[in-house]
């Protein structure tokens, strides 16, 4: 197998634990450095990792014993950290979204191409058995010609459970940029790239109140729209309707439904790696449970990074920066459309990545 890929992690918040559970046992990688704005948190993390040193961000991205920078910072810092790593010749894998703005995301991709390094971007949940099995059904022609899809994420807001939810309500946050990457990435995996969008959005409150933790009762400002809906036109001609909301109590709708000329298909929550896929054929009386046909089994956050390093050198992994750019293009297009009341054409496209065999 050769020497493990040496990973430096920037950002050691809650999500880092999920990545560490996947990466720490893997013989394909070795975590050699960690960095965080909280130096004590970085030192604590390094102490639990046999080969890791606690460094500053500048030291980490420039370190000779880091091959790939895993960027787990908040969205507003994604571009700065990615660009610094790329400038030092490092491959990068970042949490979603690729950047807080489309312009910054484009800068990342352009810089990476110029430097000859790779960029990967979450979510990698779409590489699990749930979305990959739904894709296998579609690719096998079992729903006929795909016509439309519906995707919905509806919650009352993250301030109910998150002790520090401020960034969810600042530029780069909101239900679309926070949760939309899972749904848009899944829709592109299933139906291909998007060529135009029409959006509408609303913001019901100018502030929210933290409900848990040491800051319970603290008001926080809301600077982004908290209910966003829209229509995505795919290059194939299929239409997807997407709703993301921090203003709803609950929903009984499946996370994703795909409708074709011969059958309808449900896919599980794209914020998870597995889940039931069901199919109802034209003329059938009920839904049929589909056994897993594709995807990484028992996968978790970090599988996208492992997929990237397993990919032949210089080729994109399945959770690629190009996919992250296109997904952000779709989402920011929806927000621009909502603000202007006009249809917005996407400025990017992406090939559907190779399907993941059932493994």
- The predicted-structure confidence for 53-81, as pLDDT tens digits, reads as follows 999 999 999 999 999 999 999 888 999 99
State percent of the chain over pLDDT 70.
Answer: 100
Residue 4 has pLDDT above 70, yes or no: yes
| pLDDT band of 235, cuts 50, 70, 90 | very high
Distance CA 82, CA 99 (A): 9
5-10 and 29-35 beta bridge pairing: parallel
pTM for the whole structure: 0.95
Residue 228 has pLDDT above 70, yes or no: yes
Domain 5-124+301-319: CATH superfamily is NAD(P)-binding Rossmann-like Domain (3.40.50.720)
Distance CA 359, CA 11 (A): 30
Q: Which residue has the higher pLDDT, 268 or 314?
A: 268
Confidence at residue 301, expressed as pLDDT on a 0 to 100 scale: 97
Q: What residues have CB less than 8 Å from 117, skipping those under 6 apart?
A: 86, 89, 90, 91, 92
**Start-end ranges of CATH 3.30.360.10 in the chain?**
125-296+326-345
Residue 346 has pLDDT above 70, yes or no: yes
Confidence at residue 259, expressed as pLDDT on a 0 to 100 scale: 98
8 Å CB contact between 91 and 117: yes
| pLDDT band of 173, cuts 50, 70, 90 | confident
Confidence at residue 40, expressed as pLDDT on a 0 to 100 scale: 96
- The predicted-structure confidence for 99-153, as pLDDT tens digits, reads as follows 989 999 999 999 999 999 999 999 999 999 999 999 999 999 999 999 999 999 9
Mapped to the 3 state alphabet, what secondary structure does the chain carry? CCCCEEEEEECCCHHHHHHHHHHCCCCCEEEEEEECCCHHHHHHHHHCCCCCEECCHHHHHCCCCCCEEEECCCHHHHHHHHHHHHHCCCEEEECCCCCCCHHHHHHHHHHHHHHCCCEEECCCHHHEHHHHHHHHHHHCCCCCCEEEEEEEEECCCHHHCCCCCHHHHCCCCHHHHHHHHHHHHHHHHHHCCEEEEEEEEECCCCEEECCCCCCCCCEEECCCCCEEEEEEEECCCCEEEEEEECCCCCCCCCCEEEEECCEEEEECCCCCCCCCEEEEECCCCCCEEECCCECECCCCCCHHHHHHHHCCCCCCCCCEHHHHHHHHHHHHHHHHHHHHCCCEECCCCCCCCCCCECC
- The predicted-structure confidence for 149-170, as pLDDT tens digits, reads as follows 999 999 999 999 999 999 899 8
Confidence at residue 1, expressed as pLDDT on a 0 to 100 scale: 55
Confidence at residue 177, expressed as pLDDT on a 0 to 100 scale: 93
Q: What residues have CB less than 8 Å from 40, skipping those under 6 apart?
A: none
Confidence at residue 322, expressed as pLDDT on a 0 to 100 scale: 98
**CATH entry 3.30.360.10 includes domain 125-296+326-345:** yes
Mean pLDDT to the nearest integer, 236-251: 97
Distance CA 60, CA 160 (A): 35
CA 154, 160, 162, 168: dihedral to nearest 10 degrees?
50
- The predicted-structure confidence for 312-341, as pLDDT tens digits, reads as follows 877 889 999 999 999 999 999 999 999 999
Mean pLDDT to the nearest integer, 335-349: 97
Confidence at residue 172, expressed as pLDDT on a 0 to 100 scale: 78
| pLDDT band of 294, cuts 50, 70, 90 | very high
Mean pLDDT to the nearest integer, 173-198: 96
Give Cα separations from 310 to 1, 36, 229 (angstroms). 10, 27, 36
Distance CA 32, CA 355 (A): 31
**Start-end ranges of CATH 3.40.50.720 in the chain?**
5-124+301-319
């Amino acid at each position: 197998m050769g020497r493990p890929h040496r990973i430096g992690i920037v950002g050691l918040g809650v999500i880092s634990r999920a990545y560490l559970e996947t990466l720490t046992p893997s013989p394909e990688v070795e975590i050699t450095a960690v960095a965080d704005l909280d130096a004590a948190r970085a030192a604590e993390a390094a102490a639990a990792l046999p080969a890791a040193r606690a460094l500053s961000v500048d030291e980490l991205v420039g370190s000779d014993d880091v091959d790939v920078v895993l960027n787990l910072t908040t969205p507003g810092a994604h571009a700065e950290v990615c660009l610094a790593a790329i400038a030092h010749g490092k491959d990068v894998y970042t949490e979603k979204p690729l950047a807080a703005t489309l312009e910054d995301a484009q800068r990342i991709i352009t810089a990476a191409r110029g430097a000859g390094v790779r960029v990967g971007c979450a979510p990698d949940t779409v590489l699990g058995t749930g979305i990959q099995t739904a894709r296998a059904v579609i690719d096998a022609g079992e729903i006929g010609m795909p016509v439309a899809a519906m995707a919905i994420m509806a919650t009352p807001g993250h301030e109910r459970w998150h002790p520090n939810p401020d960034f969810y309500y600042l530029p780069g946050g909101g239900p679309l940029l926070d949760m939309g990457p899972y749904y848009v990435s899944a829709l592109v995996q299933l139906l291909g790239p998007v060529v135009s969008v029409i959006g509408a959005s609303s913001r019901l409150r100018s502030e929210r109140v933290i409900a848990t933790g040491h800051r319970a009762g603290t008001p926080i400002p809301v600077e982004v729209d908290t209910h966003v809906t829209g229509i995505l036109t795919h290059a194939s001609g299929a239409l997807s309707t997407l709703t993301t909301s921090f203003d709803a109590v609950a929903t009984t709708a499946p996370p994703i439904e795909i409708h074709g000329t011969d059958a309808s298909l449900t896919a599980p929550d794209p914020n998870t790696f597995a889940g039931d896929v069901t199919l109802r054929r034209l003329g059938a009386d009920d839904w049929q449970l589909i056994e897993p046909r594709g995807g990484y089994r028992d996968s978790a956050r970090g599988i996208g990074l492992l997929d990237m390093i397993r990919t032949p050198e210089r080729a994109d992994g399945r959770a690629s920066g190009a996919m992250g750019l296109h997904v952000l293009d779709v989402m920011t297009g929806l927000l621009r459309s909502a603000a202007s009341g006009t249809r917005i054409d996407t400025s990017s496209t992406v090939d559907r990545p190779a399907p993941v065999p059932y493994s």
